[in-house]
Amino acid sequence: MNAEAATGVAMRSADRRRAFSQLLPDLRLGLDNLLVRKLRSLLTMLGMIFGVAAVVTMLSIGAGAQQRVLAFIEQLGVRNLIVEAKETIEDQAHQKIRRISPGLTFEDYRVIGSNLSGIEASTPRKRFTPSKIIPKAQGVTPVVFGVEPTYQRIAGLQVVQGRFFDSGETARGAPVCVLGEAARSVLFGPGEVLGKYVKVNDQWFHVIGVVGPQLSAGTEVSGLPSEDLNNLIYLPLNAAIFRLEDNYSSMRDEIDGIYLRLGASVDSVAAASLVRGILNTSHRHAGDFSVIVPAELLAEQRRTERLFSVVMVAIASISLLVGGIGIMNIMLASILERTREIGVRRAVGARRSDIVRQFVLEAVMISFVGGLLGIGFGFGMSRLIAVLAGWSTIVTVSSILLAFFVSVSVGLIFGTYPAVKAARLDPVEAIHYE
């Protein structure tokens, strides 16, 4: 029994060595067969080319969009909490809410600060759009943010020129301002701005700094309004309130935002629940505010990104499936054309495994070359979409490897059945086949 087992092991080892030694000749033979029918081989590859290109292109679009949103959420600060007032300009709806809720107030800000431990920095915010501004904006009118100096740390602002206003200037409501990158551009163009003045409604403000560019979301993100964070004018909070108070609408909240930066040991999700509870108590569940937790948004967005990638691959893989069916169809037709060749090879000693290997290699070569061409085509399509549509597209290594692996696998799977069918042909009948 041991001798029979040893003989079997030796025979299998010899078969593997023989198959390996035949690999290169089979590759040459397969390549010759494909080159003999160049047009048919190219048409067969088209399904793989378009399928792989679709996978690469769709994943690049998804990766570009997701990266922008993820970067924006990370910019918000994973240790921050943001409270946004939900203001309305419709009088009836406003009056209905005001009967039960005073809106977001400084009292809310103080109560949150006294009840929530682990706050490293915080600031209220008052935001509004000026009715007139000098110099005249050469584009969209900048939005004014009245904040405390701590906002610079909370929002991660990088001052590229001058400085940010300090606590003393905030306390006395000094008429100073800091411009965002886009606000500087629309008001003053590319020239020097430090030391110049901006008139917001009827008040002049001295420009003391410019902050660097920030990412902005093109659409509303979980309660955060969509706005250009670069087209902002930052004022000391007291200056915004006392110097521009006459311009406030009676339908506005006392403050319209609260920013909190939490310590590293504080659970932001639990802290958000506490803030919601405090505000729901004072606002009587009016639903006139939202609490944004960037850390929670980041985790949710990453889950969405993974799901989105799976869906995109599934949709694009339909093209690969069609390409695989095309490979099977062509290989089955090739068997009929080469039946005599198969019979001759079997007659001179070729084994069934040799026939299977030959046809599988040809199918894999079609999908391999089609996959390479599809990757190039998909890369070009993603760049073209980025240029024409202005979208952010990112071709990742993982998307290339995934598309290429799937394309080769399709060739292997759909080429196996025709190969097995070819190997089962009777040698005598195959030789006499017309």
Residue at 203 is within a domain: yes
Residue at 8 is within a domain: no
List alpha helices for 131-252, DSSP H.
151-155, 167-171, 181-188, 237-243
Based on the domain organization, do 95 and 33 belong to the same domain? no
User: Does the structure show a pLDDT above 90 at 233?
Assistant: yes
* Helices 294-337 and 397-423, axial angle in degrees (round to 10): 30
Based on the domain organization, do 219 and 122 belong to the same domain? yes
Strand 257-262 relative to strand 289-292: parallel, antiparallel, unpaired? unpaired
Residue at 337 is within a domain: yes
Based on the domain organization, do 357 and 211 belong to the same domain? no
Based on the domain organization, do 98 and 64 belong to the same domain? no
pLDDT level of residue 49 (50, 70, 90 thresholds):
confident
List alpha helices for 246-351, DSSP H.
268-283, 294-337, 339-347
Residue at 48 is within a domain: yes
Based on the domain organization, do 36 and 116 belong to the same domain? no
Last residue within a domain, chosen from 255, 287, 319: 287
Based on the domain organization, do 232 and 123 belong to the same domain? yes
Question: What pTM did the predictor assign?
Answer: 0.64
Last residue within a domain, chosen from 230, 254, 287: 287
* Beta-ladder partners of 159: 211
Based on the domain organization, do 267 and 199 belong to the same domain? yes
Domain count, the chain: 2
Residue at 401 is within a domain: yes
Instruction: Give the N- to C-terminal CA distance of the chain in Å, as an integer.
Output: 47
Based on the domain organization, do 422 and 374 belong to the same domain? yes
Residue listed under structure tokens 């920095």: 121
Last residue within a domain, chosen from 231, 257, 287: 287
pLDDT level of residue 398 (50, 70, 90 thresholds):
confident
pLDDT of 248 = 47
User: Does the structure show a pLDDT above 80 at 226?
Assistant: no
Cα–Cα distance, 198 to 338 (Å, whole number): 83
Residue at 112 is within a domain: yes
Based on the domain organization, do 128 and 254 belong to the same domain? yes
Based on the domain organization, do 244 and 119 belong to the same domain? yes
User: What angle (nearest 5°) sits at the alpha carbon of residue 112, between those of residues 106 and 117?
Assistant: 145
Please give the average per-residue pLDDT across 380-404, as a whole number.
81
Give, for 207, the enclosing helix (H) or strand (E).
strand 203-211
Cα–Cα distance, 346 to 348 (Å, whole number): 6
Based on the domain organization, do 256 and 397 belong to the same domain? no
More confident residue, 342 or 68: 342
CB-based contacts of 382-391 (< 8 A; 24+ apart in sequence): 382/56, 382/57, 382/60, 382/61, 385/57, 385/61, 386/64, 391/61, 391/64, 391/65
Decide: 418 and 332 in contact? Cβ < 8 Å. yes
The least confident of 141-145, 167-171, 424-428 is 424-428
Based on the domain organization, do 159 and 281 belong to the same domain? yes
pLDDT of 417 = 81
pLDDT of 247 = 46
pLDDT of 74 = 64
pLDDT of 175 = 93
More confident residue, 223 or 124: 124
Cβ count within 10 A of residue 325: 13
Domain that holds residue 374: 23-71+301-431
Residue at 12 is within a domain: no
Residue at 245 is within a domain: yes
